[in-house]
Structure 1
Amino acid sequence: MDAVGPRIEGQGSLEADWAACTWLEALPVHDAASVLRDVRRLVVVSPHPDDEVLACAGVMQAALAQDIAVHVVSVTDGEACYPDAPLWPAARLRDARRHELATAMRLLGLDATHVTPLGLPDGSVATHEAELAAQLAAQALPGDLLVAPWVGDAHPDHDAAGRAAQAAARGRGIRSLQYPVWAWHWLDPRAATGPWPGAMRIPMSRAAQARKHDAMQAFATQTGAVEGLDCEPILPAHVTARFRRAFEVLIG
């Protein structure tokens, strides 16, 4: 996650309310093996370092367990997340967040060879959307499953990355799915219906949940577990709670 837009303000929807959400509970459950059937490589498009772990750590682990190649396209370095924190300028954040991502990947059984950092400017992915779509299309292989943010996530970088991934998937004739991140903040868990007719819940084992939680904690700049951060972190406890569930959601 990173600097957010006007729909992402305040505390947002609490996980306790999501736990009682009838439309979320009613989403069909698909095991990871069925979602990954016939997939040769899982490609996760991540707008900022941490989005791939928050949304897809369980699916990535399931792919590895099935000997499916996993690759993360890290679109930006998340260097603009604290523009008003003098001790955390963009250059320092860029280095820190790349290191955090590398640590998180190791905790999930991956390494630097599984990540392609594109270095597009944080907060301005939309102005590079065509470039991103072209890069994703150039990297696509037959049998890929491309997983990217929901195009309605309400963060401009997420929405642009989702659109670029959809364009690349259509152009190369490969399958794609989407994941929500900021949607959990602003969607109404008390609504009668959800916005995703093709969504599914994918359960995680306790071991996979534990590894995901450890990987989430690797993003210390985002959770606030660093010195000199004199503002609210991007991932306080009430936000990370939304990603400590026993399942992940993908949108078909």
Structure 2
Amino acid sequence: MFDNRTLINKVGLSGLQKRFDDYRGQGRQHFAINVGDQRLGYCYIRKNACSSFKRMFLDLAPAKYERRTDERPIDFMRRHHLMTESDLAQCDRLVLVYRDPVQRIMSMFRNKFIAVNGAVDIHRNFERLEERQADEITFRYFVERYLQRDFHQVDRHVQPQSVHLRRAVYTDVIPVKKLHEGMTEVLGPEIADRYFQRPVNRTSDIELRHVAGASELPLAQVRQVFEEQGFMPDNESFLPADLKGRLKARYASDYGMIERFRKSSKRKSRAQVGQ
């Protein structure tokens, strides 16, 4: 369990906090759905197993919710499952999935910039801001230029996980590496096995190899190797110490958030032992 409410919420001024958060774009995308006899709330964060959740929402949506031709899963969810304040109050469980910030960026870069899977929005944003074609740049350029821009400018795929959270009490905070285990506890083994046992993302099983100086290679060259030989550079190849340090510093808010999760989990464990 993790309480992300502020003191403003707790003294009864939630409306004021919400106006402030809405202005900053904090916690906009939460969705709710009935799964069996439970009302499930979900915090949508790109690159945090969101494809598995989207598949579940599509499959378990009421039959009256017809999906439009060529409608993206996320747009279907926005039309029919977007969480309201009353939904939040009615949810039996509110789920938040998180991952290490550097690992999240690496997964995004492989998926959106090397495999170019569902990458139209982020490429459009990147090329508008940088005034360069994505295949011209290196990973170092991506980290040192694009990711250093104001987070309100860049695509949501690379915004910190912390900005996605609402001022709410999350009943289940699950690291992505323990997704199946966590969702089994939330929804039971049948649903968890069906939707959360294996990653849906098509780049999750791609072979990774050491490639000397990968962070300095033009993206077009990295793509060509992937298309012709089927592998991508591993994290160590992309992340010399200075770039890894830049990423950790840039996503310091997420590392702080994860530390808060851990402290909350420890307090809960101590309380359970003392019962």
Q: Which has the higher helix share?
A: 2
Q: Which has the higher strand share?
A: 1
Name which structure has the greater RCO, CA cutoff 8 Å, separation 6+: 1
Structure 1 length as normaliser, TM-score?
0.29
Could you say which structure has the larger radius of gyration?
Answer: 2
Structure 2 length as normaliser, TM-score?
0.28
